[in-house]
Amino acid sequence: IEHTEIKFQISLKYKVIEEIFQETGDLYFAYTNQSYWQAFNDDISSPFREINHEPEFWLQFNPRQRLGAVKFTAASLGFAHESNGRGGTLSRSWNRVFLNLVFETGNLALAIKPWYRLPEDEKTNPGDPHGDDNPNILKYMGHGELTMAYRTNGNTFSAVWRNNLRSDNRGAIELGWSFPLFRRLKGYVQYFNGYGESLIDYDAYSNRIGAGFLLTDWL
């Protein structure tokens, strides 16, 4: 496996039902595909090293409450399944229920997202198709994440932080910077340090930086 590869992500979101629960909430469905492509690795025919799939749905409320300059923008309760779609000892998957709270003040947005992993039965052996593919994933992915984003002059600076809140202190931080190029096309720089960037190596430490393009604001 070469250190240099192409990483890309496609995310789609759709509002399934609008104004439910006394017209105070909306039901959403989303799907994210994140792929890691060894495009420059001719020795092994340039394969996709890993593809992660994450369908999810959530019920979102928009309270629009204010505490001084801080606006409580959204509160969501949902379910997410993440898998790499592989079998045997390469299979990775987990299910979560999550709460996501979003706050804004000026050009700064903050999202607090704790989750609870739904337990699975233990495998009788590593090749068993049934049971838990990654029983220790919470040690590396933690119990939630904190996301911050700041926008100024067409630039967006973001940070995502995860931690297992244990003495061994495993987790991850992802820093991003997007900047305008042409209409909806933006340049993008991303830095990742820690565990859990992809499911196949969630328990392996990764330190990487990348540059590319971002398409946003289509809807």
Query: What is the C-alpha separation between 124 and 128, in angstroms, rounded?
Result: 6
Query: What is the C-alpha separation between 168 and 154, in angstroms, rounded?
Result: 39
Q: How many residues does the chain have?
A: 219
Query: What is the C-alpha separation between 188 and 208, in angstroms, rounded?
Result: 14
Catalytically active residues, by annotation: 81, 83
Residues 6+ apart with CB under 8 A from 93: 81, 82, 83, 84, 133, 134, 199
